[in-house]
């Protein structure tokens, strides 16, 4: 991905990055100014964005795992200074995740056994194979990581002292 594309994505305000396979594109990036389809996978997009801020995606995930004890699908602090954090949620594609950057979203009641609808606004929502309580826990962890690192200088905030699944 070209550097001007990365810069443009960050300037437009990323809301979510979701796998989207249509034969040409692999990812759709939802921004405050519209949607952008990319050929790179969601993981590759996240990795390149993280590298813009000094570390690759795997390094950021490992740091969160080590600092907070989160094992599976940890939230990622993308930038302390810009206060950018993303949480990952399983997508319909087994090897890819949806990355949600905007923490102010609504979760609609579960649709079936373990499906929920994430609503970023009236024009942007998607279903995920995860219960409402699991999504809420992931959001809490993401906010915990952001506040613990950004506002408390790396001191673990109270929320992370709860269960660390």
Contact 92, 81 (CB under 8 A): no
DSSP state, residue 103: -
**pLDDT tens digit sequence for 85-117:** 999 999 888 789 999 999 999 999 776 668 899
- Cα separations (Å) of 138 from 3, 8, 44, 165? 30, 27, 21, 10
Please check the confidence at residue 84 and state whether its pLDDT lies above 70: yes
Average pLDDT, the chain: 86
**pLDDT tens digit sequence for 113-153:** 688 999 998 889 988 888 999 999 999 999 999 888 777 66
Backbone dihedral region of 154: left (phi > 0), alpha (psi from -120 to 50 degrees) or beta?
A: left
Token output for 53: 């801020």
Contact 159, 140 (CB under 8 A): yes
Closest CA to 36 of 4, 58, 60, 61: 4
Residue with tokens 């905030």: 157
- Per-residue pLDDT at 161: 45
């Amino acid at each position: 991905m070209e550097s001007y594309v990365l810069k443009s994505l960050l300037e437009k305000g990323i809301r979510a990055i979701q796998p989207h396979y249509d034969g040409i594109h692999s990812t759709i990036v939802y921004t405050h100014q519209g949607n952008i389809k990319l050929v790179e996978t969601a993981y590759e997009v996240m990795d390149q964005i993280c590298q813009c801020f000094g570390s690759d995606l795997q390094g950021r995930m490992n740091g969160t795992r080590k600092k907070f004890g989160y094992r599976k699908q940890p939230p990622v602090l993308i930038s302390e200074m810009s206060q950018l954090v993303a949480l990952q949620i399983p997508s319909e594609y087994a090897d890819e995740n949806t990355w949600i950057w905007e923490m102010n979203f609504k979760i609609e009641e579960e649709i079936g056994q373990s499906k929920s609808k994430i609503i970023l606004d009236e024009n942007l929502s998607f279903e995920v194979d995860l219960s409402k309580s699991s999504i809420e826990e992931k959001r809490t962890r993401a906010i915990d990581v952001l506040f613990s690192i950004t506002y408390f200088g790396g001191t673990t905030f109270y929320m992370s002292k709860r269960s660390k699944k």
